[in-house]
């Protein structure tokens, strides 16, 4: 099945079935454990690195320190916590078969979330407040995604027990068809002739405006993002967050972005601007759609204010949605879709983009 993320704050029904009522003996208990495992893995990845998990390998090559390597470090901790050291391959595949069957029923999201919060705290994935907030943000989406698209038992057990029990490859469902036209022979590049026209391109990316940035706060707090309200004051031996920003676990205040953009005039003129997204802050554990849209419209207005008539070609970053990395395909409709985001982007970027680009943006 194709894998995707679902972007939604619409809760699934909170009315799970009693154990054994659905005819799958023992499946409900296994269902919670498997779903909690998947949710905790997703949270660990979201908080430690925000690159898109389900991107094609050919499009976004992952370094040895990327998601697969991180998963292989995380999974043994789950085995230790749950005492799965003696879990056999047949039992594992039976377990995930029961989970897949159980997910055809109406899962009790609240119960899954409660256990996932405890697991997040137990594994020290994040501070307790962050664990609670991010589970509540992700739980509905994780249930919906797993119900629609779940790892096969062989893939799940290959992840947990190793290649002797199955093959786990997050990129296995991606297939790229190449054209039948023969590849042309390589040619050495030809430098432009002296006096040839030159284009000056401004590249903007990862502005990450933090609405809650606060000067003087602790830049090395316990949360994944610091220098903000709630980070607390630093110890007397360390300085607090600076006025313009801090080279630490911090994003930028709006005044820094405004200063940056206002200073680009003398550096111009530019023929065009490539703006490759990631506008909101890294507070991925308690973002709302309103937060994301505020970041989009506020920073877009600044870019337009200071760059004026220069053509800007914006792209969608993985932080634009909430939950982070959540971009369901077009066939997902209703509150689970990302139409709320794409429509707002099309409206904000309409002065820059032609009609065809706006149409494709709305139909991503």
Which CATH number fits the domain that encloses residue 327? Answer: 3.60.21
Q: What is the pLDDT of residue 160?
A: 76
Mean pLDDT of 72-95: 66
- Domain match, 43 and 151 both: yes
Is residue 297 one of the residues assigned to a domain? Answer: yes
Q: Could you tell me the pLDDT band of residue 212, with boundaries at 50, 70 and 90?
A: very high
Range of the domain at 75: 27-161
Which of 257, 247, 264 minimizes the C-alpha distance to 278? 257
Q: What is the pLDDT of residue 154?
A: 84
More confident residue, 81 or 144: 144
> Would the pLDDT of 66 be above 50?
no
Q: What DSSP letter does each residue of 275-340 carry, written as one string? A: E----B-S-TTS--HHHHHHHHHHHHHHHHHHHTTS-EEE---TTSSSSTT----TT--GGGSSHH
> Would the pLDDT of 116 be above 90?
no
- Domain match, 218 and 299 both: no
Q: Which residues contact 162 (CB under 8 A, 6 or more apart)?
A: none
pLDDT digits (tens, 9 = 90+) for 311-347: 999 999 999 999 999 998 888 888 889 999 999 999 9
Least confident of 109-113, 205-209, 230-234, 317-321: 109-113
> Would the pLDDT of 207 be above 70?
yes
- Domain match, 350 and 287 both: yes
- Please give the DSSP secondary-structure letter assigned to residue 23: S
Is residue 290 one of the residues assigned to a domain? Answer: yes
pLDDT digits (tens, 9 = 90+) for 221-242: 999 999 999 999 999 999 999 9
Is residue 284 one of the residues assigned to a domain? Answer: yes
- Domain match, 261 and 219 both: no
- Domain match, 37 and 150 both: yes
More confident residue, 177 or 234: 234
Which of 97, 143, 148 minimizes the C-alpha distance to 116? 143
- Domain match, 275 and 135 both: no
- Domain match, 141 and 231 both: no
Is residue 334 one of the residues assigned to a domain? Answer: yes
Q: Could you tell me the pLDDT band of residue 214, with boundaries at 50, 70 and 90?
A: very high
Which residue among 129, 144, 161 closes a domain? 161
- Domain match, 219 and 301 both: no
| Angstrom distances, CA of residue 296 to CA of 47, 83, 146, 215 | 22, 45, 29, 23
Residue 202: phi and psi, rounded to 5, are -95, 130
> Would the pLDDT of 204 be above 90?
yes
C-beta separation of 280 from 319 below 8 A = yes
CA angle (45 as vertex; 42, 51 as ends), nearest 5? 115
- Domain match, 239 and 320 both: no
Q: Which stretch, 41-55, 124-138, 284-298, has highest mean pLDDT?
A: 284-298
> Would the pLDDT of 169 be above 80?
no
Q: Which residues contact 189 (CB under 8 A, 6 or more apart)?
A: none
Is residue 291 one of the residues assigned to a domain? Answer: yes
> Would the pLDDT of 208 be above 90?
yes
Is residue 183 one of the residues assigned to a domain? Answer: no
For the chain, give the number of residues: 364
- Domain match, 240 and 309 both: no
Q: What is the pLDDT of residue 178?
A: 84
Q: Write out the H or E segment, with its range, that includes residue 202.
A: strand 201-204
More confident residue, 325 or 31: 325
Is residue 152 one of the residues assigned to a domain? Answer: yes
Q: What is the pLDDT of residue 199?
A: 92
Least confident of 43-47, 265-269, 338-342: 43-47
Q: Could you tell me the pLDDT band of residue 285, with boundaries at 50, 70 and 90?
A: very high
Q: What is the pLDDT of residue 124?
A: 83
- Domain match, 34 and 156 both: yes
Q: What is the pLDDT of residue 316?
A: 94
C-beta separation of 227 from 213 below 8 A = yes
Which of 143, 156, 136 minimizes the C-alpha distance to 16? 143
Q: What is the pLDDT of residue 113?
A: 80
- Domain match, 225 and 264 both: no
Q: Could you tell me the pLDDT band of residue 108, with boundaries at 50, 70 and 90?
A: low
Q: Could you tell me the pLDDT band of residue 13, with boundaries at 50, 70 and 90?
A: very low
Is residue 318 one of the residues assigned to a domain? Answer: yes
> Would the pLDDT of 354 be above 70?
yes
Q: Which residues contact 72 (CB under 8 A, 6 or more apart)?
A: none
Least confident of 24-28, 36-40, 156-160: 24-28
The count of domains in the chain is: 3
């Amino acid at each position: 099945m194709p894998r995707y993320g679902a972007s939604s704050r619409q809760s699934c029904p909170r009315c799970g079935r009693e154990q054994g009522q659905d005819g799958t003996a023992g499946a409900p208990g296994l269902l919670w454990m498997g779903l909690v495992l998947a949710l905790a893995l997703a949270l660990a990845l979201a908080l430690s690195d925000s690159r898109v998990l389900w991107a094609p390998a050919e499009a976004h090559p992952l370094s040895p320190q990327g998601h697969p390597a991180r998963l292989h470090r995380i999974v043994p901790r789950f085995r230790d916590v749950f005492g799965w050291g003696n879990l056999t391959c047949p039992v594992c595949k039976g377990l995930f078969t029961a989970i897949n069957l159980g997910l055809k029923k109406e899962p009790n999201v609240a119960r899954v979330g409660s256990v996932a919060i405890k697991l997040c705290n137990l594994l020290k994935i994040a501070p307790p407040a962050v664990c609670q907030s991010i589970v509540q943000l992700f739980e509905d989406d994780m249930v919906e995604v797993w119900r629609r698209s779940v790892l096969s038992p062989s893939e799940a057990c290959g992840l947990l027990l190793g290649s002797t029990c199955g093959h786990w490859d997050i990129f296995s469902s991606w297939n790229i068809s190449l054209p039948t036209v023969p590849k042309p022979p390589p040619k050495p590049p030809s430098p432009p002739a002296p006096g040839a026209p030159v284009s000056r391109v401004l590249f903007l990316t990862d502005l990450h405006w933090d609405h809650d940035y606060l000067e003087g706060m602790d830049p090395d707090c316990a949360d994944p993002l610091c220098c903000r309200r709630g980070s607390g004051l630093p110890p007397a031996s360390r300085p607090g967050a600076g006025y313009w920003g801090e080279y630490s676990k911090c994003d930028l205040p709006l005044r820094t972005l405004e200063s940056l953009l206002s200073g680009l005039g003398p550096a111009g003129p530019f023929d065009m601007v490539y703006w490759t997204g990631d506008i909101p802050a890294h507070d991925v554990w308690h973002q709302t759609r309103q937060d994301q849209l505020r970041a989009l419209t506020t920073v877009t207005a600044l870019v337009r204010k200071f760059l004026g008539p220069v053509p800007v070609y914006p792209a969608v970053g993985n932080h634009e949605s909430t939950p982070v990395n959540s971009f369901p395909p077009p066939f997902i409709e209703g509150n689970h879709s990302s139409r709320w985001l794409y429509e707002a982007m099309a409206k904000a970027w309409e002065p820059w983009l032609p009609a065809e680009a706006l149409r494709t943006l709305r139909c991503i």
